[in-house]
Amino acid sequence: MNRSFIKYHSPLVIILFFVLTAVISCTFALGELKVSNEIDYFDILGEGGMTIITLVWIGFILMSRPAGKVTNWLFSGLLLMNMSMLLDFMDEFIKYPDNNAWLTTLDSLPAPFGMVIMSIALYQWYQEQMTINAQLRRTERVYRDHTLTDFITGLYSAKYMKQQIKHQLLYSKSSNKPFTLMMIDIRQFDQFNRQHGYQQGDNLLREIGQVITMNIRDKDLACRYASDRFIVLLPDTSNETAETFAWHIENSLANLAFKVGSDLKANYQEITLCSKEYNGTESNYQVLELLNLKMEVTKKQNPYPLGNNSLGKQVA
Ligand SMILES: Nc1nc2c(ncn2[C@@H]2O[C@H](COP(=O)(O)OP(=O)(O)OP(=O)(O)O)[C@@H](O)[C@H]2O)c(=O)[nH]1
């Protein structure tokens, strides 16, 4: 059992100890022990059991809850109920002389107050739980949203892109408007990583992601598809129109003078870019399959380092 709650709730534990000791001492001081034939052992069992159970409830409350207003209310309510039960229990061993007979009626007093306080406390506990639930829901939503974005580039993730392609396919089919997907792959990214380190590789991914975003329209969607691969979804766009965007992106990236740390040397990263038009009759799976295929063909047609669309260069 974790006993750290005793330290954590020490003021309440002291109050509990003090109250129980005071009740037991008072009853002994003001009354006298009954003889054995005056004792009802069934009552002892019932009332003793209830006293112990309310003490256990107090223990659980202190073990499971942080210090604060709601805990104090719960504790106070249970303590008053426990006082009633303890007084009732003590009645079984002790009888009070006539001038202290008021003690026998006192045992029924704390319990109703305790129950009222407990009801208030339980309502506050309910409200507290509602607030916690609302916060959890918000956290969960943030977490879910995060799974739809790429941590490194801040672009949408492949998962989100796949969802959007699904919607786009349906829309294109019903509206008869084509859409185009563009794929951008960084060349020799593995070599870049090995030469400059993964941290710099991440920075390069981020900057390339920003350049891509700057060159697309509001209605377009860019995502980081895989390690060094990006996809742009261009709704209501033919491949011919997409070529203009492709040209803008290629030119911008060709002039992206990436600096590694405080090094003055500018690194110009070469990319492979391809695009493909769809009319909505393709399946979700086919769309990316066809695009990946086109990327492989484009790469083969433009072998590194000096292919037809090789825009990359490295200058000191
Ligand atoms: N910095 C960084 N590197 C990554 C990340 N994810 C994957 N990579 C690396 O990206 C590299 C991809 O290597 P390849 O698939 O061979 O790509 P490439 O070297 O560009 O090869 P080509 O495209 O054929 O020119 C590997 O070194 C991966 O470890 C990432 O999040 N950050």
Q: Which residues contact 136 (CB under 8 A, 6 or more apart)?
A: none
* Span of 65-69, 70-74, 95-99 with lowest mean pLDDT: 95-99
Q: Give the predicted TM-score (pTM) of the model.
A: 0.58
Ligand 1 neighbour 193 (Cβ under 6 A): yes
Does residue 152 surpass a pLDDT of 60?
Answer: yes
With the most atoms of ligand 1 within 8 angstroms of its CB, the residue from 151, 183, 189 to mutate is 189
Bridge partners, 278 (sequence order):
179
189 C-alpha to ligand 1 centroid (Å): 5
Ligand 1 neighbour 188 (Cβ under 6 A): yes
Q: Are strands 156-157 and 221-226 parallel, antiparallel or unpaired?
A: parallel
Mean pLDDT value across residues 178-202: 94
Class of domain 156-315 (CATH, top level): alpha beta
Q: Which two tokens stand for residue 104?
A: 């026998």
CA-to-CA dists, residue 89 to 33, 48, 83, 156, angstroms = 13, 6, 10, 67
Cβ(250)–Cβ(309) below 8 Å = yes
Ligand 1 neighbour 225 (Cβ under 6 A): no
Tokens 């590789």, located at residue? 201
Ligand 1 neighbour 185 (Cβ under 6 A): yes
Mean pLDDT value across residues 244-269: 90
Share of the chain above pLDDT 70, in %: 90
Look at residue 223 and give its three-state secondary structure. Answer: strand
pLDDT computed for residue 236 by the predictor: 95
Q: Positive or negative CA dihedral for 54, 60, 63, 67?
A: negative
Ligand 1, atom 6: closest residue by C-alpha: 227
Q: Positive or negative CA dihedral for 23, 24, 26, 31?
A: positive
Domain boundaries, the chain: 4-145, 156-315
Ligand 1 neighbour 152 (Cβ under 6 A): yes
Does residue 73 surpass a pLDDT of 70?
Answer: yes
Q: What is the ipTM of this complex?
A: 0.95
Cβ(9)–Cβ(74) below 8 Å = no
Ligand 1 neighbour 190 (Cβ under 6 A): yes
